[in-house]
Every structure is written in structure tokens, then in C-alpha cells.
Structure 1
């Protein structure tokens, strides 16, 4: 006769069995829930515009107005909120953290080797081809985001950055000045089209630009057109409305930047491009009489590649407003001359801009000037930005983004107004071209080369046409040679209006 388990013990065993079964079911349900939420998150992050439109409608997306003094930008591809710079992350709109444009992935802070992509990414890339035949594109990209992480922040289409970079990329050895949006991947095209349609700054297009029948100007004609039609102007205390403000006469410089600085014989404009890494250009850059750098690009630790001299630092208003950049306290900004800029609406006057800046540039300017009263600090007149934008559009065969030019081109034209000769480094990518955005950060995206927020692709076309150096200089050193406006004689030939 077998042993019988007492009733009380039997109840305890039965209860324990039921609890374990419920725990297993709960774990399975929780796992399924987490996977579903992660997939939904990835889907929304990668396809924010179509998903938002599908759930809430187009009107809900377009109804939001820009918040001009908001500083924090949340990158939905990252694990935490970070402060974003339009130049650094071209998929984000300056001054509007809530407009659902497809965003770029967050900086990659892993300890992976810079040159070798993770093996599991390659493994997933091979297997994703099977799913791409079964699932719609958004779901395929969501799966890639979830399991691969899109560590290169691709905005260039399914084929990723490889369609641009490498021996078989469309870039070739040297930048082609006929580059157009038709050469971009689908995802980057969509981002550019969104900015085209948005027209945040109320740009009114005029002139011959955007037509494929437009006659193409020579490099010299382009240079003369810039000299005659783009005025590098900074704010002074006699500009309205600043002449009526109590702080302005005390803090704003009494003269233009171009009157106070220069002339210089040779100047270097050093981009922040990732292709400057391992370039060994530091000594060459420091031989110039004046060197311009951008935003928070450091020299410490990178002297071999970017040099150590800083004469002018051009910064956008977002860097000034961001706590993350420590503009008021970091020693990075305390050397050399500072020049700041903030985009104004296309047709606004200075009074309208003063009351509706993208970021609180004037509040930060006043604070910094009181902390550093001896350091020269200028603010670009927004008219300069839009005059330059108009020249880009007038000389392109298709519509460009209705957003201001990049800091890179603004700084290049600024130095051309003060120097006899300007060398621009890695604005046009060299043989070291890479999807790495900045030499001092681990952030990958082809949009940093081709532009999304800024009309960067078209800016590079313009610079390539004006380049007076050789293609070999571009290929080996990423060096473009441009004459200063003072060294040009444009009266000998009339610059045609096209």
C-alpha cells in the first residue's frame, strides 16, 4: 500500500504548483509585452512622420508652433535626452523640439573599436533581407533599429552609408559639384522633403534658382557674385532696436567685425568633420595667420590632426543656450574672438527677430560679456545668412532646404571677407571620408556630410565650383583653396544675373 500525502501537504504542493505556473505565465506575458513595446518604440523612432500622421493625423503634426526659447532636444534614437546642435544633428529642427521629423540616432558611447563594426550587426544585416521580403519597410527598419541599433544613424536608405562611402560609393574620389537630392537614399530624401515643405522661416523663393535650365556660372563668376551680393555684417550698438536698449551700447561692439579684425594673408577654416581624425594636418593648419573653428570643437587632445591655434570661434545660439555645452563656464570658448549667430525669419527686421529668436542668444550674450568683458564677441546680422542662402539657391538646379546655411559655409564666407587666401579643411571630404560626424564624438550619420536641416549638399556643390586648388588637394588633404574678396578684381568682367 503506497504512502498517502496528507491533505494539508497536498494542498501546499498544489498551491506551489499553481504559483509556479502563474509565475511562468506572467514572465512570458511580460516578455511579450516588453518586446511589443520595444518594437513599437523602434517603429515610431524610425518612422516618426508617417506613424504620427497615421495615429493622430497630419493636422495634429503640423499644428504645433515652434517654442523659440526651448533648449532641450530629445533624440529618440538614444537612451537619454541630450542637447542637440543643428549642425551636429541635421535631422532636428532648430528651435522646435516637438516637431516630429525623422531624427538621427544618438551618439554611440560603446567601447567598440572605431574601425570595426560589431559582428552581430553584420549578422543581422544578412538575415534582415529575409524579413524585408515579408514585412513592410517601416517594420523592417524597426527590427533593424531594435536588434542592430542603427549605430551609424543611417538616414541614407536601406543600403546605408555604403552607397556613399567606400570604393563603390557615389562620392567617388572627389566631390561631384552636380550632386543632387536624386542621388540620396529614400530616408534622407524624405527628411529633406519634410524640411522643404515645412518652411519654418517663411522663405519666399525668388530669382532663377531651382530650374534645370539655369545657365551654370563659372567659379570666378560665383566668387564675384558672392563678393557683390553677400555682405558680412555684424550687429553694432547703433542698429535698431539695440540703440534704444540700455545694455546694448555697453556690450555690443561699436564697429563691424571686418573693421576690427584683419586683414590676414592666409586663413584656415577647420571643419569638425570626422574625416579629420588621423589626418595629421595640425602643423599645416597652425601655419596660417588666422584659424576659424566651430561651436564646441576642441583642440586639446587632437592637436596632431586639427592644430592648436584658434583665432575665431563661430558658434550657433543653441550651443550658447545649452547647459550641456557649459558656454558660460567652459574655458573652450574663452580664447580668441567669438562670433555668434541665430536664424531669423526670412523677411523679418531686427526688432521682430529680437523678440522671436530661435534660442535666447541675447540673454546669453549679455551674461557672457559681463563675465568676459575683455573678450571680443560679435553677433552676425541675420541678413547675411539669408543673402548667402539666396546665392546658393540661385545657383542650384533644384529647390534647396528653406533653412539657413550651415556654420561651415557661414564661417568660410566670413573668413573670405578678411583674408587674402582661405584654406577650408574637410568641408569637402577627402579620401578619409567617413559617416563619422565629428572628429571628437562617436556619432555616425551620412546626413552630416550631405545635410538634412542645412542645404549642405548644395553648399558643397558651390564650394567645389569655386575651388581654385586641385582635386588632388581635396582627395589627399580635404583642402579647398578660395581667394579672399579683397584679392579679387570683379570690375574687369560683369557678373551676370541668372
Structure 2
């Protein structure tokens, strides 16, 4: 009996055995699931790394949205910075006290966006930061393939330097012995770019979102290279700065048309004797150009570029602020309430179809520029606020394309070139700062933030590389000024050309 009782105690009832078996099977499935999930994540990371490095449309086709490279942080990341500790509601912060923003559309990737992963206080603490030395890889990296290493860096949150100029890195371009030499070479072309950036440029050339009509046979019969004076004459004759006025169709039939300035910008402002166009380039850091910039009769700045805290390098005067429609439309920039935009004259622009048809543009803007314009005018009825006619963008684009031996991106010119031409229509002499990089040339995108990408200098969405070639050719100042101050001297459109011998 004792033996039988002992055996009965050791035996597990059938229902209990079923539960043990079920738990064992569940644990085994859980382990398999965890292993499969880890393998899936690794595979997707490898796929993302390969696609994001080589082709944006490929990732668009795979994932259904335009994938971003690590050089394209989301602009909406600013919300994470502005949230209070433990709070769910976003805290308002004046963009004048923030690093700023660079235009970009989440649906149209532009590899030049701001990185909002730090506060202005931290940026002041690191104002004179030094560039990090190139990190050396450990022994393990030699055994891992490049895609796997990149995948691990992506998963673990690592951030590697953008491979723009080949295996040797960006220093081959930006270093003391880089391809630029002392000053910008006006023969720069896409063949000098690295694999990543060259691929991005090719993608934009193929997209042709704005319906650019250009025959490839035009390049076979390329005219001779124009000199600086010839280029300036061509710009004078073929680029006319026009702003919207109430009588233009279709705006003449809208009730809000009365909010548009009755006279064009070129008749209302100026003429100025000397003007400064201040880029937002990172090479303005530690330049000490603030007093020189403020000494000009008029100063143009771009988008959300702040002056507070940077007066020593960029000055404090703002006569004209040239902004794009994304800055106006994004809630992150507080366009309607920030004091940043209330100083000086505002000039806004938005990419439009190549045909420059105002009706088509009005119904298909990249961002709601007209809606935001009306809102701002109701709040600031006395401030001069202009909208650039889209024909200006494409007149200028054609001048750039006509003077290049290869096809350029079929996207509008950069705000930098548009703002420069705008001031050339208002001023006798225009000094453009750090549009062409000086001896302080750096991978740092903008003076008010700590985000690096060589695309900020060479362009991706905009044909910035080719724009700089033309500006270099039109420069009337000595090359030494470019090297030491990043300063280009251009004559106004109403000034008689006097080219140095």
C-alpha cells in the first residue's frame, strides 16, 4: 500500500500533464518567436541601410514612404525637446531662441535638415566645440561586413559619418588639403561627388516633380563658357525679380488680394548702396564678421536663422528675411507668433510648376503659403510682406542650367541664390557671406546648430553645386576675400559693370 501510495503521489494527473506540456510548448514557441523577431529586425536593418544609402525611391517602393538616410532627421523631432518633464502638452518656445530650421518636406526627402536634439542652452555651452577625431574601428569591425556593421550601428543607435566622398571620407573635400584647395573651384561637377550624394542628385534629376521641359540634345551643342561680365549681363537681361500684386490673376478675384502689397518689392525698397546677404553656413562660426555685416545699408537673412547669441559672428541687423513656405506652414516654427519674423521685410517663396502658371500653382502649392500669408497679414497688417512670383525661380534655374555642361537637378534654385539675386535688384553692391566656403569651411551645416552633412555645402535637392560655380565666376572681389572672409562681391543690376583688371 505504501508503495502504491508513493507511486500515486509521484504520478501527475492527466490534466496536470497537459498543462505542463502546454507550458513547455509555449516557452519553446516564445524562444523561437524571439529568435525570429531578432533575425527579422536584423534583416530589415540591413535592407534599410542598403536602400537608404543608395536609393530613396527603392525604399519608397518597399516601405510605402520615403525613407530617410541618417543625414535626414525628422523636423518634428523638435517636439521632443519642447515637451516638459512628464508633460504631454507641447511648450511654446520662440524660434529666435532655438537653433533654427532648414527647409525640407517629409514627403520629399532633402538631405539637409535641422537636428533638433539639443537646446539652445547646450548649443551656447558648445559654441566653440571642436570637431571630433575620426573614430577607429575595433578588431571586431574587421570581421564584420560593412552592411552588417551599419545594421548594428543602426540598431544600437550609433551614428557614423556620412560617406559622401568615397572611402576616405569628407576630409578629402573639407580638409586643409581637400579638393577645394583655398577657394571654390568653378569647375565643380557631379563627377567629383561621392557615391551617396551622387545617387541622391541622380534621383532628384529623375523625379522631375515640377514638369521641367528640357531637351538633352541641348547639351550636345553647348555654347562657350561665359565670362563673369557676360554672366552678369545675362542675369540682368533674363532674370527679373517680380512679386505678386493685387491685380494679378487669379488673385484679383479673391477678397484677400487687398492684403498683397500694391507695388512690387523693387519699387518699394531701396535703392541701397551696400547690402549683405548672410548665409546660414556653419563656417560663420568664429568668423567675427558681425560688425562688418551690420555696417551695410541692408542685410538679408534666411528662414529661421537667429541673431540672438550670435551677434559677434553674424551681426544683429535684419532688413529683409527671405523664407520658404515650409517655415510658414510648420507649427514647429511658430511663424504666426514668433518675434523672429516681425523684424524687417518678409519675402516668401514656394516651389511652383516649371510653366509658372499662377492658376496651377495656386491649386497645387508645396505648402499652404497663401493660407499662412493671410493669417499673418491679419496679425501684422502694417509689416511689408511679399510673395515671390514663381517665374523668378525658373528664370534663374534656366540661367544656371544654360551655363552648365551637364544636366542639373530639376528643382528650383536654393534660397541662397534667390535671395542674392533679389538683393542685386535692390543694391549697388552686394556682399554675400559664406555662400562660397572660406578657410573655415566645415561639414557643420549651420552656425546655429550642431548637425553635419557635406550636402549642406554641395546641395542635393537644390542645384547648389552649380549655383556656387556661377557665383564664383561672377565675383568681382579678390579670391583672397573668399578665403579669409567667405565674402563674394557682386554688382547690383542697376550698376554699371566695372570689372577688375
TM-score range (shorter-chain normalised) is 0.7 to 0.9
User: Which of the numbers 344, 347, 352 marks the counterpart of 1:336?
Assistant: 344
| Equivalences for residues 155-194 of structure 1 within 5 A | 155-194=164-203
Q: Distance in 2 between matches of 1:462 and 1:79?
A: 28
Helix, strand or coil for the counterpart of 1:247?
helix
> Structure 1 396/54 Cα, relative in aligned 2: closer, same or farther at 3 Å?
closer
State the Cα distance separating 1:471 from its structure 2 match. 1.3
> Structure 1 364/260 Cα, relative in aligned 2: closer, same or farther at 3 Å?
same
Q: Which deviates more from structure 2 when the two are superposed, residues 168-177 or residues 149-158?
A: 149-158
The answer as to whether partners of 2:170 and 2:454 remain within 8 angstroms in 1 is yes
Matching residue of 1:324? 332
Helix, strand or coil for the counterpart of 1:318?
helix
> Structure 1 79/427 Cα, relative in aligned 2: closer, same or farther at 3 Å?
closer
User: Which of the numbers 46, 51, 66 marks the counterpart of 1:47?
Assistant: 51
Q: Distance in 2 between matches of 1:207 and 1:76?
A: 30
Q: Distance in 2 between matches of 1:449 and 1:386?
A: 22
Matching residue of 2:431? 423
| TM norm structure 1 | 0.81
> Structure 1 125/240 Cα, relative in aligned 2: closer, same or farther at 3 Å?
farther
RMSD: 3.8
Q: Distance in 2 between matches of 1:259 and 1:486?
A: 13
Matching residue of 1:3? none
Matching residue of 1:472? 480
Cα deviation digits, residues 393-414 of structure 1 (max 9, x gap): 0111111000000000000000
Q: Distance in 2 between matches of 1:295 and 1:102?
A: 16
State the Cα distance separating 1:37 from its structure 2 match. 1.8
Matching residue of 1:205? 214
> Structure 1 352/38 Cα, relative in aligned 2: closer, same or farther at 3 Å?
same
Aligned length: 460
Helix, strand or coil for the counterpart of 2:490?
strand
Q: Which deviates more from structure 2 when the two are superposed, residues 20-29 or residues 371-380?
A: 20-29
The answer as to whether partners of 2:201 and 2:460 remain within 8 angstroms in 1 is yes
State the Cα distance separating 1:170 from its structure 2 match. 1.1
| Equivalences for residues 304-453 of structure 1 within 5 A | 304-453=312-461
Cα deviation digits, residues 94-134 of structure 1 (max 9, x gap): 4xx345x685687273679642427xx713388646545xx
State the Cα distance separating 1:145 from its structure 2 match. 4.3
State the Cα distance separating 1:35 from its structure 2 match. 7.1
User: In the alignment, does 2:260 pair up with 1:252?
Assistant: yes
Helix, strand or coil for the counterpart of 2:300?
strand
Larger Rg: 2
Matching residue of 1:115? 130
Q: Which deviates more from structure 2 when the two are superposed, residues 192-201 or residues 347-356?
A: 347-356
Matching residue of 2:88? none
Matching residue of 2:301? 293
Matching residue of 2:223? 214
User: Which of the numbers 124, 127, 136 marks the counterpart of 2:137?
Assistant: 124
State the Cα distance separating 1:31 from its structure 2 match. 7.6
> Structure 1 236/108 Cα, relative in aligned 2: closer, same or farther at 3 Å?
closer
Cα deviation digits, residues 392-440 of structure 1 (max 9, x gap): 0011111100000000000000000010000000000011111111111
User: In the alignment, does 2:310 pair up with 1:302?
Assistant: yes
Q: Distance in 2 between matches of 1:25 and 1:123?
A: 41
Q: Distance in 1 between matches of 2:56 and 2:351?
A: 27
> Structure 1 174/27 Cα, relative in aligned 2: closer, same or farther at 3 Å?
farther
State the Cα distance separating 1:442 from its structure 2 match. 1.7
Matching residue of 2:97? none
Q: Distance in 1 between matches of 2:72 and 2:360?
A: 38
| Equivalences for residues 454-465 of structure 1 within 5 A | 454-465=462-473
State the Cα distance separating 1:206 from its structure 2 match. 5.6
Q: Distance in 1 between matches of 2:165 and 2:365?
A: 31
Structure 2 unmatched runs, 5+: 1-8, 13-18, 79-99
> Structure 1 29/364 Cα, relative in aligned 2: closer, same or farther at 3 Å?
same
Matching residue of 2:90? none
Q: Which deviates more from structure 2 when the two are superposed, residues 222-231 or residues 341-350?
A: 341-350
User: Which of the numbers 190, 196, 205 marks the counterpart of 1:196?
Assistant: 205
Q: Which deviates more from structure 2 when the two are superposed, residues 477-486 or residues 37-46?
A: 37-46
Cα deviation digits, residues 424-474 of structure 1 (max 9, x gap): 000000111111111111221100100000000000000000001111111
Q: Distance in 2 between matches of 1:418 and 1:354?
A: 27
State the Cα distance separating 1:173 from its structure 2 match. 1.3
| TM norm structure 2 | 0.81
User: Which of the numbers 274, 280, 284 marks the counterpart of 2:292?
Assistant: 284
> Structure 1 80/446 Cα, relative in aligned 2: closer, same or farther at 3 Å?
closer
Helix, strand or coil for the counterpart of 1:269?
strand
State the Cα distance separating 1:158 from its structure 2 match. 3.9
Helix, strand or coil for the counterpart of 1:486?
coil
Helix, strand or coil for the counterpart of 1:160?
coil
State the Cα distance separating 1:142 from its structure 2 match. 3.8
